[in-house]
Amino acid sequence: MNARPRIAVLVSGTGRSLENLVQCIERGELDVEIALVLSNTPSAFALERAARHGLESRVVDHRDFADAQAFGRAVFAEIEARRVDLVVLAGFLRLLPIPDAWLGRVLNIHPALLPKFGGKGYFGERVHRAVIEARERESGCTVHYVTNEYDRGPIVLQRRVPVRDGDDSHTLAERVFEEEKLALPDAIQRHFAGLAGATVERGGARG
């Protein structure tokens, strides 16, 4: 029997995405092992979730490093110490330089339809506020391979939702997050099945 692929999940905040991945694994919908949860800040609630689920976690605090390159080297040293197959940025909000050897093995989920509403400064709720201010009629989420350009890199999949009259950043964030819960495990499965390519799927029929 083949061992399950091992992933590292990188977090900065509440860890809802991490929780979702754990639940997908427990339900048998995602066939991977979480070998490491890594946070760039000791205050991330995601670390508590990791502890509750008995997952190994590490903090590599970006404030301890002179620049992004040094921070990135320290992050990948932790990852490489654990025979990890794929790195998943799940609400990870720091710029992470990717070593050449890892290009094509780092996924990120972003709460908008990239290339729109991506890049520096676009994270979390700010993204949804910008979408509403721009009077977009739809939004969604994107899972893409991380390159050394912020929020660029080959798209694995997107899921779309409508922006409704009367939406605020919270209601839109919730609708998008429901799609993120499907998109991220799906993209991870596709990566390991060798199917990761650019596809767009519709969502948001609920609610």
Task: Catalogue the active-site residues.
Answer: 110
Quick one: tokens of 144? 């893409």
Q: How many residues bind ligand GAR (CB under 6 A)?
A: 17
The C-alpha atoms of residue 127 and residue 36 are separated, in whole angstroms, by 28
Write down the least CB distance from residue 180 to ligand GAR, Å: 6
**3-state SS assignment for residue 89:** strand
Q: What are phi and psi of 102, to 5 degrees?
A: -105, -5
Q: At 21, which amino acid appears?
A: L
- Binding characters for ligand GAR, 111-150, by CB under 6 A (x = yes): x-----------xx--------------------------
159 binds ligand GAR (CB under 6 A): no
The C-alpha atoms of residue 46 and residue 34 are separated, in whole angstroms, by 13
- The label of the residue with tokens 């760039």 reads 40
**H/E segment holding residue 110:** strand 106-110
Residue among 37 and 46 whose Cβ is closer to ligand GAR: 46
Residue among 167 and 180 whose Cβ is closer to ligand GAR: 180
Which range in 13-21, 25-33, 71-79, 152-160 contacts ligand GAR by CB under 6 A? 13-21
* CB closest to ligand GAR, residue no: 91
Quick one: tokens of 198? 């650019």
Q: What is the CA radius of gyration of the chain?
A: 16
Quick one: tokens of 57? 């976690």
Pairing relationship of beta strands 199-202 and 155-162 according to DSSP bridges: parallel
90 binds ligand GAR (CB under 6 A): yes
Write down the least CB distance from residue 142 to ligand GAR, Å: 9
13 binds ligand GAR (CB under 6 A): yes
Residue among 11 and 196 whose Cβ is closer to ligand GAR: 11
Binder of ligand GAR out of 8, 9, 10, 15 (CB under 6 A): 15
How many C-alpha atoms does 13 have within 13 Å on its Cβ side?
Answer: 12
Q: Which residues of this chain interact with ligand GAR, rule CB under 6 A? A: 11, 13-17, 46, 90-91, 93, 109-111, 123-124, 177, 180
